[in-house]
């Protein structure tokens, strides 16, 4: 996985809102969702008890051995495992509960070097990262309160099932001389067993209805511990907006220079040549009509080519089809001009503001151009949708993979363009493909 962010698992802007998990509707969907939440909660509880406990102990040991030098080599390895463990929980929170927990790890600086000194620098960088000191307390809470909150959905469902089993005669094999207590029911006969079954049925039905909310409570606890403090997030957001403002100014200046260059080297040069030809024609029209006629034909060709270049230049600034028909049709028109088959799916209930549409269009244009040039893809798919607060575009190709966001790459320019609108770009491009590039821009459709 390469890129600046992975949707769902890594930071995707600065949003702190959480969405609810999608519940099944009708046809016993809530029963299925409840059972699924109980199973998921049991799995998360095991992970919390075993994984978080082991990693918490290893983290304490590696930190204790830092003064001895051993911890300088062990701590980075352990903290990478901790981050992977926390990243997995972030992913489950997004998938199962609709809760997005952004990652806020500081990138490892380049040039730390190798050997003991380089290892010490890497270790120091990780220990200075505030996110590290959110992960470590989270491990402790996860193996205690996190374990209990994750296990609670399975316990509720199992307790309801226990009541039903008591009605089927489980109390007879309990082995206790006295009654088998289930809630406030002393089960010592078939009649009280059936009463316990009724209570168990109520517990099971109510539990299946609400255990998804109980499981979501576990992820709310996780978010409270792993998410950045609001003040820190606001400061980072201010820094990001300042940076993107400078990027926008630089991009605007670069765009003006490109337009100037294209006009000077293209249409302007042809118009100058056409003017010179017309002057020559004026001098030759009576003395050498044949030569004047040839120059008129060349002037006509120059005017047609200058007009084509001006049209291309206008399309590069703001394509007419984008202004007239919107992002979906503009991307479809763009796809028709590519040498690789492109499938375009559009689900937009309205139109975004013109600057947002323009940013999304040119981002898709750059992504498709990269795919055609470098991926050796035989099929590309573009999916454009609106999620209620975000314009979401996903470009998938079946090429060789290896795309990344880095200095000098086209995707870096796309990321800067989207950053102006507080948008994000995520790239998944393993070796051998496929490549999936996702961009999101906050906006409101009209």
Cβ neighbours, 10 Å, residue 138: 22
In contact, 204 and 102? CB cutoff 8 Å: no
List the end-to-end C-alpha distance of the chain, in Å, as a whole number: 35
Distance CA 83, CA 61 (A): 17
Distance CA 358, CA 352 (A): 10
How large is the angle between the packed helices 29-46 and 190-226, nearest 10 degrees?
Answer: 60
In contact, 150 and 217? CB cutoff 8 Å: no
**Tens digits of residue pLDDT in 134-160:** 999 999 999 999 999 999 999 999 999
Distance CA 67, CA 438 (A): 44
> What is the residue-level pLDDT of the chain in tens, covering all 446 positions?
333 333 333 333 333 433 343 334 444 688 889 999 999 999 999 999 999 999 999 999 999 998 888 888 999 999 999 999 999 999 999 889 889 888 888 887 766 666 777 888 888 989 998 899 999 999 999 999 999 999 999 999 999 998 888 888 776 665 566 777 888 888 878 888 889 889 989 999 998 999 999 999 999 999 999 988 767 667 766 776 676 666 666 666 666 676 677 667 767 777 777 778 778 887 777 788 888 888 888 888 878 777 777 766 665 556 777 878 888 888 998 888 889 999 999 999 888 888 888 888 888 988 898 888 888 889 999 999 998 888 999 999 988 888 877 655 678 778 877 877 878 888 888 888 888 999 988 888 88
In contact, 140 and 51? CB cutoff 8 Å: no
Residue from 165, 203, 168 nearest 184 by CA: 203
**Predicted pLDDT at 238:** 74
**Predicted pLDDT at 169:** 78
* 424-428 β-sheet, strand order: 2-3, 424-428, 435-442, 390-397, 380-386, 342-347
Distances (CA, A) of 416 to 142, 300, 316: 37, 42, 18
In contact, 445 and 386? CB cutoff 8 Å: yes
In contact, 216 and 172? CB cutoff 8 Å: no
Tokens of 161: 């099932």
Cα 272–Cα 278–Cα 280 angle in degrees, nearest 5 = 105
Q: How many helices (H) and strands (E) does the chain have?
A: 14, 8
In contact, 199 and 167? CB cutoff 8 Å: no
SS3 of residue 236 by DSSP: helix
Taking the CA atoms of 316, 317, 320 and 321 in sequence, report the sign of the dihedral they define: positive
In contact, 196 and 167? CB cutoff 8 Å: yes
Distances (CA, A) of 252 to 249, 259, 353, 364, 416: 5, 11, 18, 19, 12
pTM (two decimals): 0.54
**Predicted pLDDT at 152:** 94
**Tens digits of residue pLDDT in 231-274:** 766 776 677 667 666 666 666 666 667 667 766 776 777 777 77
In contact, 200 and 164? CB cutoff 8 Å: yes
Distance CA 287, CA 266 (A): 32
Q: Which residues pair with 396 in a beta bridge?
A: 381, 436
SS3 of residue 411 by DSSP: helix
**Predicted pLDDT at 113:** 61
**Predicted pLDDT at 49:** 93
Tokens of 426: 């995520």
On the CB side of 267, how many CA atoms lie within 13 Å of its CA?
A: 14
In contact, 48 and 147? CB cutoff 8 Å: yes
Tokens of 431: 């070796």
SS3 of residue 153 by DSSP: helix
């Amino acid at each position: 996985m390469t890129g600046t962010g992975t949707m769902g698992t890594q930071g995707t802007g600065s949003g702190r809102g959480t969405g609810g998990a999608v519940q099944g509707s009708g046809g016993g969907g809530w029963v299925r969702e409840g059972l699924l939440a109980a199973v998921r909660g049991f799995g998360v509880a095991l992970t919390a008890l075993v994984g978080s406990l082991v990693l918490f102990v290893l983290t304490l040991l590696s930190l204790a051995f830092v003064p001895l030098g051993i911890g300088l080599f062990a701590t980075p390895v352990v903290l990478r495992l901790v981050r992977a463990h926390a990243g997995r929980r972030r992913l489950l929170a997004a998938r199962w509960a609709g809760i997005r927990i952004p990652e806020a790890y500081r990138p490892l600086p380049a040039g730390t070097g190798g050997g003991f000194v380089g290892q010490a620098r890497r270790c120091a960088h990780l220990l200075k990262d505030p996110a590290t000191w959110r992960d470590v307390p989270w491990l402790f809470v996860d193996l205690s309160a996190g374990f209990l909150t994750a296990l609670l959905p399975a316990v509720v469902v199992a307790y309801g099932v226990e009541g039903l089993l008591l009605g089927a005669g489980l109390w007879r094999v309990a082995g206790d001389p006295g009654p088998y207590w289930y809630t406030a029911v002393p089960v010592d006969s078939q009649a009280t067993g059936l009463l316990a079954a009724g209570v168990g049925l109520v517990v099971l039905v109510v539990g299946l209805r609400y255990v998804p909310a109980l499981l979501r409570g576990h992820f709310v606890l996780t978010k409270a511990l792993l998410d950045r403090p609001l003040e820190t997030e606001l400061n980072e957001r201010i820094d990001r907006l300042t940076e993107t403002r400078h990027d926008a100014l630089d991009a605007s200046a670069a765009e003006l220079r490109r337009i100037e260059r294209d006009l000077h080297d293209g249409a302007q040069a042809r118009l100058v040549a056409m003017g010179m030809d017309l002057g020559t024609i004026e001098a030759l029209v009576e003395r050498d009509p044949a030569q004047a006629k040839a120059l008129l034909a060349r002037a006509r060709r120059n005017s047609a080519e200058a007009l084509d270049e001006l049209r291309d230049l206008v399309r590069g600034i703001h394509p007419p089809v984008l202004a007239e028909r919107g992002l979906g049709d503009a991307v479809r028109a763009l796809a028709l001009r590519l040498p690789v088959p492109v499938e375009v799916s559009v689900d937009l209930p309205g139109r975004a503001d013109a600057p947002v549409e323009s940013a999304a269009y040119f981002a898709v244009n750059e992504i498709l151009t990269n795919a055609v040039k470098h991926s050796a893809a035989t099929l590309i798919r573009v999916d454009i949708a609106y999620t209620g607060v975000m314009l979401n575009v996903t470009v998938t190709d079946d090429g060789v993979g290896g795309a990344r966001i880095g200095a000098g790459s086209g995707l870096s320019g796309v990321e800067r363009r989207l950053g102006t609108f507080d948008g994000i770009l995520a790239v998944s491009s393993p070796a051998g493909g496929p490549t999936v590039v996702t961009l999101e821009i906050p906006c409101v459709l009209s």
